[in-house]
């Protein structure tokens, strides 16, 4: 049997962390068996759905590399199909028109509450044809005729078996007075038409499941398997929201996260494989099992995400890391493809950079001229003697026959020894001269990578400036 999963976001906001994880679980489940993954945009709530949100979802899926075989389908383009199915249910006697007025329904619910009962449609129009005739001035809704006895059993792949008595379930409205289908009906028709075999979704939808299963059964189709994924909570135990920094996934792109690192972090939020923390996409496809997803909620931990990102960056081939950082270099006006030392630069810098953004920020001085020197650094490290010491370094560097970190180190050490000063008295002015600040990897490696021409030219330029400020 071909496995078909789907991701059906409502375009009412960003593609957020929780949605991305559900999409990932569905994607993995389809991909690991050569199945099909469907993207469907549930946009029937026209007031809350926006084009920006649709775009954010498509961009997010694209950035995360969660490709789909089918879609994006839009529910608003399938209205006639939903109406066709509503008619089919009316014709087969599995649905009926309900003319009950809002006032009557309110009164009925009030009465039920007063008696301590759970509010539920009393089935007047289902049972009493007279009531139906009597109220025909207003446009009716269509209600699904939910079975009155027995129980629905959800054999949930994550939560186990859940039984819900039909008595508990209302006769759900499936079409509004204007003929518009309601949410649950659209989901059911789509899952049926799209041949969905596995419904993987957040457990906030679990109350809809027995209703949807009953409608599917009335339509005579095989039920899909269900897997309800527990929520992601913030560190305060509350449902994840903007307060926790849980914005759209594209924000994580902007902040310098790798899509594979974000996916790695998300998959582990609620699933594990022994005590392995780091997974490549290939490993996820190999090891992930939807049945192994935890039953309880998990907690979002931004520090751990940062750690996972750093580990991924450290494990990458230099050229791949440069490729991953292209967008961030572009943002800084740097065409990184023009720099043949980029692979070596990112290899040097990544030890101290946990995100692509930090990597790019900390390596900018390699790829563009230094316009200003960090003022605090000048104040702290530049003294009257600095220019003279730098001059000696410059001469030593110009005379070097091999331009390698070790030889550069000898020059710097030589100047330190000759003048009988601390290492920092020489190294920090060099660092400020060639990077603009005091943050860089070791000075010999930095200079080695920068190349003699640029290093010497920057030191020479700094000598002039430093002699004026000291």
Q: Give catalytic residues, as residue numbers.
A: 242
Q: Is 187 in the site for ligand GLU (CB under 6 A)?
A: yes
Site residues for ligand GLU, window 23-42 (CB under 6 A)? 42
Q: Which is nearer to ligand GLU, 229 or 427 (CB)?
A: 229
The C-alpha angle 18, 21, 26, rounded to 5 degrees, equals 130
Q: Is 281 in the site for ligand GLU (CB under 6 A)?
A: no
Q: For the CB of residue 248, give the shortest distance to ligand GLU in the complex, in Å.
A: 14
Q: Is 126 in the site for ligand GLU (CB under 6 A)?
A: no
Angstrom CA distances, 34 to 27, 234, 430, stand at 11, 34, 57
CB-based contacts of 342-349 (< 8 A; 24+ apart in sequence): 342/367, 343/318, 343/319, 344/318, 344/449, 345/449, 346/318, 346/321, 346/322, 347/318, 347/321, 348/441, 348/445, 348/446, 348/449, 349/441
Q: For the CB of residue 281, give the shortest distance to ligand GLU in the complex, in Å.
A: 23
Q: Which is nearer to ligand GLU, 75 or 363 (CB)?
A: 75
Q: Which is nearer to ligand GLU, 82 or 279 (CB)?
A: 82
Q: Is 8 in the site for ligand GLU (CB under 6 A)?
A: yes
Query: What residues contact 438, with CB distance under 8 A and at least 6 apart?
Result: 374, 377, 380, 381, 428, 431, 432
Size of the site for ligand GLU (CB under 6 A): 7
Q: Which is nearer to ligand GLU, 229 or 325 (CB)?
A: 229
Q: For the CB of residue 234, give the shortest distance to ligand GLU in the complex, in Å.
A: 19
Q: Is 10 in the site for ligand GLU (CB under 6 A)?
A: yes
Nearest residue to ligand GLU, by Cβ distance, number only:
201
Q: What is the DSSP string of 157-208?
A: TTTEEEEEEGGG----EEE-TTSPBPHHHHHHHHHHHTT--EEEEEGGGTTH
Return the range that interacts with ligand GLU (CB under 6 A); candidates 8-16, 155-163, 395-403, 457-465: 8-16
Query: What residues contact 368, with CB distance under 8 A and at least 6 apart?
Result: 332, 333, 334
Q: Which is nearer to ligand GLU, 201 or 268 (CB)?
A: 201
What span, in angstroms and rounded, lies between the C-alpha atoms of 423 and 81?
77
What span, in angstroms and rounded, lies between the C-alpha atoms of 434 and 426?
13
What span, in angstroms and rounded, lies between the C-alpha atoms of 99 and 127?
12
Q: Is 201 in the site for ligand GLU (CB under 6 A)?
A: yes
Q: Is 43 in the site for ligand GLU (CB under 6 A)?
A: no
Q: For the CB of residue 201, give the shortest distance to ligand GLU in the complex, in Å.
A: 3
SS3 of residue 245 by DSSP: coil
Q: Is 205 in the site for ligand GLU (CB under 6 A)?
A: yes
Q: For the CB of residue 19, give the shortest distance to ligand GLU in the complex, in Å.
A: 7
Q: For the CB of residue 75, give the shortest distance to ligand GLU in the complex, in Å.
A: 9
**What tokens does 319 get?**
């050229």
What span, in angstroms and rounded, lies between the C-alpha atoms of 120 and 308?
49
Return the range that interacts with ligand GLU (CB under 6 A); candidates 7-15, 160-168, 226-234, 402-410: 7-15
Q: Is 239 in the site for ligand GLU (CB under 6 A)?
A: no
Residues that bind ligand GLU (CB under 6 A): 8-10, 42, 187, 201, 205
């Amino acid at each position: 049997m071909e496995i078909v999963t789907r991701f059906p976001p409502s375009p009412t906001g960003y593609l957020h962390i929780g949605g991305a994880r559900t999409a990932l679980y569905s994607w993995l489940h389809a991909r690991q068996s050569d199945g099909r993954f469907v993207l469907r945009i549930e946009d029937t709530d026209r007031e809350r759905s926006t084009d920006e949100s649709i775009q954010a979802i498509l961009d997010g899926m694209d950035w995360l590399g969660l490709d789909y075989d089918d879609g994006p389908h839009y529910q608003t383009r399938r209205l006639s199909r939903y109406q066709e199915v509503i008619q089919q249910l009316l014709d087969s006697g599995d649905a009926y028109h309900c003319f009950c007025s809002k006032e009557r329904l309110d009164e009925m619910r009030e009465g039920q509450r007063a008696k301590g009962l759970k509010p539920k449609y009393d089935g007047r129009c289902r049972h009493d044809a007279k009531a139906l005739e009597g109220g025909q001035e207003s446009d009716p809704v269509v209600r699904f005729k939910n079975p009155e006895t027995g129980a629905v059993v959800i054999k949930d792949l994550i939560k186990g078996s859940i039984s819900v008595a039909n008595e508990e379930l209302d006769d759900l409205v499936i079409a509004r007075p204007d003929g518009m289908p309601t949410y649950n009906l659209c989901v059911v028709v789509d899952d049926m038409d799209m041949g969905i075999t596995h419904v993987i979704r957040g457990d906030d939808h679990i109350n809809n499941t027995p209703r949807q299963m009953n409608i599917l059964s009335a339509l005579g189709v095989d039920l899909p398997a269900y897997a309800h994924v527990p929520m992601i909570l913030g560190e305060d135990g509350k449902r994840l929201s903007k307060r926790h920094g849980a914005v759209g996934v594209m924000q994580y792109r902007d902040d310098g996260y790798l899509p594979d690192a974000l996916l790695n972090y998300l998959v582990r939020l609620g699933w594990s494989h022994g005590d392995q923390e780091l997974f490549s996409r290939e490993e996820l496809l190999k090891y992930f099992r939807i049945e192994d997803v935890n039953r309880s909620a998990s907690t979002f931990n931004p520090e751990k995400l940062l750690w996972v990102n750093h580990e991924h960056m450290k494990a990458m081939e230099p050229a791949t890391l440069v490729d991953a950082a292209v967008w961030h270099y572009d943002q800084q006006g740097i065409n990184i493809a023009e720099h043949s030392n980029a692979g070596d630069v990112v290899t040097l810098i990544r030890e101290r950079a946990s995100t692509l953004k930090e990597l790019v920020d900390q390596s900018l001085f390699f790829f563009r001229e230094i316009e200003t020197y960090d003022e605090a650094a000048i104040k702290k490290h530049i003294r009257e003697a600095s220019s003279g010491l730098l001059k000696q370094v410059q001469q030593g560097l110009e005379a070097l026959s091999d331009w390698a970190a070790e030889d550069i180190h000898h020059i710097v050490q030589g100047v330190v020894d000759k003048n009988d000063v601390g290492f920092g008295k020489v190294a920090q002015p060099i660092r400020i001269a060639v990077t603009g600040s005091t943050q860089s990897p070791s000075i010999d490696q930095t200079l080695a990578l920068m190349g003699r021409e640029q290093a010497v030219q920057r030191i020479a330029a700094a000598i002039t400036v430093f002699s004026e400020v000291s």
